[in-house]
Amino acid sequence: MLLAIETSCDETGVALFSEEGTLVEDFLYSQVALHSPYGGIVPEIASRKQLEVLHPLVKRALEERALKPYDLKGVAVTFGPGLLGSLLVGVTYAKTLSLALKIPLIAVDHLSAHLFSIFLEREVSFPYLGLLVSGGHTALFVVQDFDSLKLIGHTRDDAAGEAFDKIAKLLGLPYPGGPVISELAEKGDPEKYPLPRPMLEEENFDFSFSGLKTAVFQLLKREGNLRNEDLCASFQKALCEVLVEKTLRAARVLGIKRIVVAGGVSANTYLRGLFQERAQEEEIFFPHPKYCTDNAAMVGFLGWIKFKKKDFASLDAEPYSRALFKKSRP
């Protein structure tokens, strides 16, 4: 049995995979209620709570399968990117198990895990275009194999999920902003306010959302109280159109017919519908919503792939807070 651990941010995830690659247990502890009063994630609170809940989650997962620690054949853990304090909790725990049980340590990249999360439900043929949209990242990859990913575009400022959260805070809405904005947008007019589509006409595959956030701020400042439903609908449409149009343009320029959309924002129903509406010959794949946000199942799947290849990490390996991928030419 392979143990997988995810502690890159505020979620604490634990999963078990069989040596045949089957997900057998998947647990997630969410800290949303802890961070909501602050309007965002407080890193120290996140890491302290993970320190408190990680071992009980591992113990529970093993007990569900009547397993003992010595039944484990390897431990996969997110090494980064993410909040360093949170990453250290998971990595230190995994290293301890690896050393004590004499089992392989498997280092998993958080962004890569998201891009392969679709394989928890179905296989997608390589190559495909991977759009990763979350609270901390917005990036476009050409995915050629499990160990071959090429970054061709990324956000130059705010990530898509970060923009949702900042607009929600601006409107006095609760954290996290994505779900509440999406819910209000369903009751609003997306054509009410003509908000900008940043970088939409540029030839590159990069994104920028700080200008959209500023446009909403200036609109509120200029016109005062506005109907939140209409403003949320207009904002959501503007942001999602940029994501969809730039991704589809990249697919057509590169001649790639398959697109996987992953990360927390990929659970947004409007974004999913817009992709399906505007895709022509492209096939669009979305993970199940429970695999869109941070989870240990996706870490376990990629860990299992690396386990089969005997791609193990040294106990001297260190977690990293920033993404390792460097942008390259398509």
User: Which residues belong to the annotated binding site for substrate?
Assistant: 132-136, 165, 178, 268
Backbone dihedral angles phi then psi of residue 262, each to the nearest 5 degrees = -135, 170
What DSSP state is assigned to residue 127?
Answer: S
C-alpha separations of 39 from 161, 162, 185 in Å: 13, 12, 20
Please give the Cα distance from 245 to 242 (Å, whole number): 5
**Feature table: binding site for Fe cation:** 110, 114, 294
Q: Is 216 in contact with 170 (CB distance < 8 Å)? A: yes
Contacts 24+ apart (CB under 8 A), 124-127: 124/258, 124/260, 124/285, 125/258, 127/256, 127/258
Q: Is 187 in contact with 168 (CB distance < 8 Å)? A: no
Coil vs helix vs strand at 175: coil
**Feature table: binding site:** 110, 114, 132-136, 165, 178, 268, 294
Q: Is 15 in contact with 65 (CB distance < 8 Å)? A: no
By DSSP bridging, strand 23-29 and strand 74-80 are unpaired
CB hemisphere CA count around 238 (13 angstroms)? 27
124 burial (CB, 10 Å; 0-12 / 13-18 / 19+) is: middle
